[in-house]
Structure formats: structure tokens, C-alpha cells
Structure 1
Amino acid sequence: MNGRRYAFVLTAAAALGVLSACGTSATEVAPQSSPAGTSAAASPSIDSEPHNAADVEFAQAMIPHHQQAVEMSDMLLAKQDIDPRVMSLAREIKAAQGPEITQMQGWLEAWGLPAMSGPAGMPAHDMPGDAMMPGMDHGDGMMSEQDMAALQNAQGTDASRLFLTQMVEHHEGAVQMAQREIETGQYGPAVSLARLIESLQRQEIATMQKILGSL
């Protein structure tokens, strides 16, 4: 009797062990569900928002315009005996416009369009007619090759004065380009950038004119 009871206890214990092991295994291999649509949670692409011809022209024209401003700033920063206020302004122009160039190039790449940057320092009105950059005209403030050469050769106070005079004209052209985008553009980020350019460059024009009056 004791032997049969002992055998029964062993059998029951073994059965419980098997059930427990099965339960643990089921828990361990249960797949972890992931939230639906996780792969679609990425931020929308650049070209998901509508754009029009004005947006394209704005980017394609403003890129070389900014590139020339950066080049002019680099010329000045490489010189000696420049008014510290003018040096500071040149650094600010580079710091602001460099990232904006990259941003606009990203839009055009996403839209499958060329940047149309052109040779640095060459104004649209000095290019062959067929090469005229979209959105640019004679009033957009681009410096000629002669203007760029004059800045390159100027020194000291003359260089500071020439840089400011040229950059005021350059900025005034950028403001006009920005205003066209604000009025006719469709792509939200481009219109926002145009508003920023208009506001910042108007402020810089006022600063440059003030410095010019004291040189």
C-alpha cells in the first residue's frame, strides 16, 4: 500500500512538472507585438508638401546669390586692418547663409531639380541669355566680376567701405527676391525662409549703413 501511494505521488509530481515546463516555454516564445504603423512614423519627406515654380525659382536664384555673399565675406575675412564691426558682420553673414544654401539645395534635390549654382561671383546678367538663372534679373544685387576683383584688391578702410557698399546692394537684391517668394510661393518652408531672409537682411542693411556713416 505504501509503495503504490509513493508511486502515485511520483507520477503526479512528474505530470505537474511537465505542465509547468510547457507553460514556461509558451511564455518565453510568445512573440512581442509592435505598435501598428511604427515604420510609417518617420517624418514626412521634403517633397510631401506642394511647391510651385516660384519656389523653384527662389531656391535656384538664392543659392548662387548666397554663395556670392559667402565668397565676399571670405575675401574680407582674409584681409588685415579691417574694422572689427565689419569683420563681425562678415562672420554673421557666413554663419546665416551657409546653412540656408544647404537647406535650399536639399529642396531642389528632393524635387529632382538642379541647383543652378553657376560660377561663383558671376552675375546672372553677365551670363549668356540662355544661361540666365530663374528668378534673377538686373536688380537682384549680384556683383560683377569687376566688382569682385575690386573687393579682392582693396585693403584696410577702403576694403571695409567697399564691402559694406557692395553688400548693401547685394542684400537689397535678396530682399526683393524674398518678397517675390512671399507673394507667389507655395512651399511653406521656402516662404518661411524668405520671410527670415527679408527680416534679417533688412536689419543688416541698417547696420551696414550705420557703420558706413562712421568710417
Structure 2
Amino acid sequence: MILAGCGNGDDSDTVPGTTSKPSTPAMSMTTAAPAPGSDTAYNDADVTFLQMMYPHHAQAVEMADLVPNRSQNQQVLDLAANIKKAQDPEMTQIGALLQRFGKPAPSADASIGHGMPGMMSQDQMSSLAALSGLDFDRMWLEMMINHHTGAVDMAETEQASGTNPEAQKLADSIISAQQTEIDQMNAMLGQS
């Protein structure tokens, strides 16, 4: 199970990563009461998705920050800038949603996400940071494809199991944007 160890201790019959929603209302009663004028109802899948996606995005931003001093490829430079430009505001949105749900502020510490799909180890990040030029570009593209694929997987789990409209809209956006970038990066690797 790809989300093992990242849950919140709730032993309900809803298993993160499954494609079915709870079949009875009692199984989905982990929702907060909506505030007047806003839709803040959520379930455990929404919280897990947001809590996992925040450090996942933080690592993508960290990877993007490595590019300007190590790459001379304008396509890689532009892609890294676009990834950072997209994911910084999503991290702000994730923090705001969790706050509205009354959940703790997310952590950008990538070490907490070691079991998440697509997360790089500290050794992998150090190896990447030690490279430059074409070697850096190739490793960065390969790692970012893997990273984005993990984010798409987590967003698809949110689509299948989450209930909060804003979290689901974020998941839709992540799938659309990151799949487009995966396709772009695969094409870039094919050119090298």
C-alpha cells in the first residue's frame, strides 16, 4: 500500500489508496462541520493527501532550485522555473486548507516523506546536487519524472477517496499540470 505509515491513526474501514468511497455514512463521519458560507467538510483521505503533498511539493521546489546553477539547457531552466512557480502557491493553498480543517501546519521536511511515491532520498538529492551540465540535466529530468509520477498517483488516490471539493480540485490540477510536464520531460530526454 503506497500510503502505509502516512495515515493519522484512524482505523476506519476506509483504506487510503483504494478506489472506493465509504459505503455508509458512519464510515465517513471524520468530517468537520462546515463553517457558515464555506465548504470545509473533509475526510481522512483529504487530510492525508494534503499532508503528504506539501513535503512532496517542497522537494520538487528544492529540486527546481538546483537548476539555475547547474544547467545551461534553456528548456530545463524554463521547466524548473515553471515547476517552482506552480508549486509554491499550491503549497500555500495546502497550508490554508489544513488550517481551515483544524489540522497542524504541514512540514516541508522531505525526510518525513521517505515512503511517499516519487520522493528522493537524501543520497539521491546529494548526488544530483554534485552534478552539472548534461549529466545534471539527465538525472534531474529522470528524478523529476519519477517525482511527478508519484504526485499524480497521490492525486488520483485523492480523486477516488477524498470528499473536499477544494482538495479534489487541487488534485485535478496536479494531475493535469504534472502529466503535461512528464510528457515534456520524456520528450526532452529523448532529445539528449
Q: Same fold (TM over 0.5)?
A: yes
Q: Work out which of the residue numbers 125, 130, 140 in structure 2 matches 1:153.
A: 130
Residues 63, 115 of structure 1: 8 Å contact kept: no
TM-score between the two structures when normalised by the length of structure 1: 0.69
The separation in 2 between residues aligned to 1:185 and 1:99, in whole angstroms, is: 21
1:70 corresponding residue in structure 2: 61
Higher helix share: 1
Residues 64, 117 of structure 1: 8 Å contact kept: yes
Residues 52, 113 of structure 2: 8 Å contact kept: no
Gaps of 5+ in 1: 1-42, 126-136
Q: Percent identity?
A: 42
- Point out the structure with max Rg over C-alpha: 1
Amino acid across the alignment from 1:103: Q
Task: Report the alpha carbon displacement of residue 111 of structure 1 after superposing the two structures with TM.
Answer: 1.5
The separation in 2 between residues aligned to 1:123 and 1:84, in whole angstroms, is: 32
Aligned residues: 157
Give 4+ residue runs of structure 1 displaced > 6 Å after superposition: none
Task: Report the alpha carbon displacement of residue 114 of structure 1 after superposing the two structures with TM.
Answer: 1.4
Task: Report the alpha carbon displacement of residue 112 of structure 1 after superposing the two structures with TM.
Answer: 1.6
2:190 corresponding residue in structure 1: 213
Residues 123, 143 of structure 1: 8 Å contact kept: no
The separation in 1 between residues aligned to 2:157 and 2:107, in whole angstroms, is: 19
Residues 54, 108 of structure 2: 8 Å contact kept: no
Task: Report the alpha carbon displacement of residue 109 of structure 1 after superposing the two structures with TM.
Answer: 1.1
Task: Report the alpha carbon displacement of residue 118 of structure 1 after superposing the two structures with TM.
Answer: 4.9
Q: Work out which of the residue numbers 12, 36, 44 in structure 1 matches 2:37.
A: 44
1:197 maps to 2:186? no
Q: Secondary structure, in 3 states, of the residue corresponding to 1:154?
A: coil
Task: Report the alpha carbon displacement of residue 119 of structure 1 after superposing the two structures with TM.
Answer: 2.1
The separation in 1 between residues aligned to 2:109 and 2:57, in whole angstroms, is: 12
The separation in 1 between residues aligned to 2:37 and 2:57, in whole angstroms, is: 27
The separation in 1 between residues aligned to 2:82 and 2:108, in whole angstroms, is: 24
